[in-house]
Structure 1
Amino acid sequence: MSQSLPKNVHCSTHPCLQAKLSQLRGASTNARETKALVHEIALIIGCEALGAGLSATAGSTSKTPLGYDFTTTEILPSTISIVPILRSGLGMLDAVQTLLPNPVPVHHLGLFREPTTLEPVEYYNNLPHHRVATSTSTSNSGASDLAILLDPVIATGGTCAAAIQTLKEWGVKRVIVIAILGAVPGLERAAGEWPEGVEIWVAGVDKAINDRGMIQPGLGDVGDRLFLTIGK
């Protein structure tokens, strides 16, 4: 499967992650188990994504409890933000916050897929100082160097692509997308939105989507499973 994906899409082969993804797919997995599995999968794939997307640099000098000097380690880039897509991206937030050594801003994007056209509609955006770049001004104050976009399921790719475009307009230099499951067509669409600025890391890949824009075999609607709104 991996050889058919764009170069900026990375599918994990971690055996523990693959086993957890299999557990998450099950219809009998309840909301409590779903929440735990989403967190654990996000922790593993997030570790892989940030291991490749961040770098370490020497920081200031500090002391150990025994009084010895040591040089601290800091991460680059210096400005990072986490951007979960509402609602389901919230299930991955704690995992990524756990991985980062220091707190970073969390900016939420609210997007839903219009049922008829399957195209994304933005209903909430709290990126600071967000505005569309113009031909005379391409930088936006408040933009992070790196945005970590949390989108658990990339089916048609429309929502993820729209979020990437919004972050690009905001002025970020790079986007790391962390996902749990993606369909090949959706991953191709999202990866092609900004190929030079985006890296997508996903725990698993399925080949197709159905006529309702759901991944086959997939794992259902993660937001509904997390928040017990199935059948809404």
Structure 2
Amino acid sequence: MLGIEALASLDVRQSGTDISPIGYEFTTETISPTSITLVPILRSGLGMLDALQTVLPYPVSVHHLGLFRDPLSLHPVEYYNNLPFTRPNSSTAPEGNPSAANLAIILDPVIATGGTAVAAIQTLKEWGVQRVILISVLGCAGGVAKAAGEWPEATEVWIGGIDEELNDRGMIRPGLGDVGDRLFLTIGK
């Protein structure tokens, strides 16, 4: 449901016509921008991936970011990044990174301190995306504000619910616990 709401702002335009399997002509439509990538934050964001893929009218690339929060400092640590990089040819490529998508949709079910979301937004901005949509199921008010303020002119944040406070370990109160552990039925640390 969050994905449908978040993606309702995408422009739909007619792209031509096609013939149905039983012989009727119909108008085809496409969404804009046409260069979209889904970016689940490993591992909990994987639980949102299939749902978002079914909302989009055509397959899009998926690039994973592995980020975890250091338990002592509560700062994000990147351990995996599979965003491609193509060196631009100055005579033919547009400025920036030609392999970057126009729109990156970050999938992360929980925003607690906001550090992971900020790190993901920074990484995607440096990669060269023009716009970011961040979709989360639950967030803490302060962490959501921090994420929304990281690149406000190009970032939309969509949240299913807000809890007001964090505990001393940076976990949302009352919260959901570790979504990755819950999703993959593993025992938390």
For these two proteins, the number of residue pairs brought into alignment is 183
The answer to whether the Cα contact below 8 Å between 1:88 and 1:222 also exists between their aligned partners in 2 is yes
Equivalent residue for 1:190, pick from 120, 137, 147: 147
Distance verdict in 2 for CA 1:158–1:217, change over 3 Å: same
**Runs of 4+ that moved beyond 6 A:** none
1:67: how far off? 3.0
Distance 1:192 1:138 in 2: 26
Per the alignment, residue 173 of structure 2 pairs with 216
1:69: how far off? 2.5
1:155: how far off? 0.1
Distance verdict in 2 for CA 1:105–1:57, change over 3 Å: same
Equivalent residue for 1:73, pick from 29, 44, 53: 29
SS of alignment partner, residue 178 of structure 1: strand
Distance 1:115 1:174 in 2: 30
Distance 1:172 1:202 in 2: 21
Q: Normalised by the size of structure 1, how large is the TM-score?
A: 0.76
Per the alignment, residue 7 of structure 2 pairs with 50
The answer to whether the Cα contact below 8 Å between 2:36 and 2:105 also exists between their aligned partners in 1 is yes
Q: Which has the higher contact order (CA 8 A, sep 6+)?
A: 1
1:86: how far off? 0.2
SS of alignment partner, residue 205 of structure 1: strand
Any stretches of 5+ residues in structure 2 without a counterpart?
A: 88-93
Name the % identity: 66
Higher helix share: 1
Distance 2:14 2:186 in 1: 47
Distance verdict in 2 for CA 1:198–1:60, change over 3 Å: same
Equivalent residue for 1:63, pick from 2, 9, 19: 19
Work out whether 1:110 is the aligned partner of 2:53. no
Per the alignment, residue 158 of structure 2 pairs with 201
1:230: how far off? 2.3
Deviations 1:146-178 (A, max 9, x none): 001001100000000000000000000000001
Distance 1:168 1:149 in 2: 12
Work out whether 1:180 is the aligned partner of 2:130. no
Any stretches of 5+ residues in structure 1 without a counterpart?
A: 1-43, 132-136
Work out whether 1:154 is the aligned partner of 2:111. yes
Q: What is the RMSD computed on CA atoms of the aligned residues?
A: 1.6
SS of alignment partner, residue 61 of structure 2: coil
